[in-house]
Structure formats: C-alpha cells, structure tokens
Homo-oligomer: A and B are copies of this chain.
Amino acid sequence: MDTAEEIIKYFIRIRERPNVLEEYHKKLFEGMRLAEVHCIDKIGSIEDANVTKIATEMHMTRGAISKICKKLLCRKLIDSYQKPENNKEVYFNLTEEGKEIYFVHKKYHDRAIQSYLDMLTAYTEDEEKAILKFLQAMNVIYDKQSAVFSQVKDKEEV
C-alpha cells in the first residue's frame, strides 16, 4: 500500500469514528445529551441565536433543535427573547446555570484543541501547509458530492 492509499485509509477511519468521545464526558458529568450541550455551546457563541441558526451550525433540522431548546427552556438553562421589530424570530440566551455548563464544556473543548495544537508543533511550516491544503481539498470534494446529492434529491421531488 503506497502513501496515498494509506492516507485514504486513515482518513476514512477518522470519518467513521463515532463521536462518542471528545465531548462525551460532559454527558456523564451533567447527565445531559451531547446534542443538548452542543446546543448550549451554540447559544453561548452565536450572536442572537435562534432555532434556524443553531440548526444550520449543528447540521440538524429545525424541528430537532426546536425540541432541544424547549427542553433547555424547561430546565431553565436558557432564556428566550424577541426583538421589538420582529414578532416571528425567537432568540436564546444562556441563564446563569446554562453558562456554567457552557464553561465546563468550553474547558474540555479547549483542552482537546490544545492537545491537537501541541501535536502539531512537531511539524514544519511546509508540512503544516500541506496538511491544511489536503484538508481543504477534502472539504471541496465533499462539497461537490453534496451538490450532486442535492441535484438527485431535487429531481426526485419534481
């Protein structure tokens, strides 16, 4: 197996790895579902977060996010508010309790990012450039595949 083939092999392995890790600790820590913590994270970081924006960022449907936010509201982890000039859109804020979870999550997240950065110090600038170029290229390929998929879907809907 040459280097290119091995790259593909490891790349696919990474894609296939379940999400179980990285953030899952917090599910255990606070008895919350991964998606709920993730949602809190988005509400904490997006300006005037609403259902639609969160759904887009989390690659989930508005329906799913709507349900999660409802749950978070019940548990008083978030608050909702509206703007005087718009009666349709509903925005979310973290409550004090929500912020606690936000920061615990952030701590773990930052720690994970740092471990990646530490690992990357072993590479030269040229190597880093190559890695980055590769990752960007893979994203472009996925975008293209996504576009093809959308076309197929559109045809079906006709």
Decide if A8 is an interface residue (CB 8 Å cutoff): yes
CA distance A146 to B23 in the complex (A): 11
| Residues on the B chain within 8 Å of A121, using CB | 4
Interface size of A by CB at 8 A reads: 55
Decide if A87 is an interface residue (CB 8 Å cutoff): no
**Min CB–CB distance A97 → chain B (angstroms):** 23
Residue on B nearest A38 in the bound complex, by CB: B16
Partner of A156, one of B28, B59, B119: B28
Residue on B nearest A24 in the bound complex, by CB: B149
Task: List the interface of chain A (C-beta within 8 A of B).
Answer: 3-8, 10-11, 13-22, 24-25, 28, 59, 112-113, 115-117, 119-121, 123, 125-139, 141-142, 145-146, 148-149, 152-153, 156
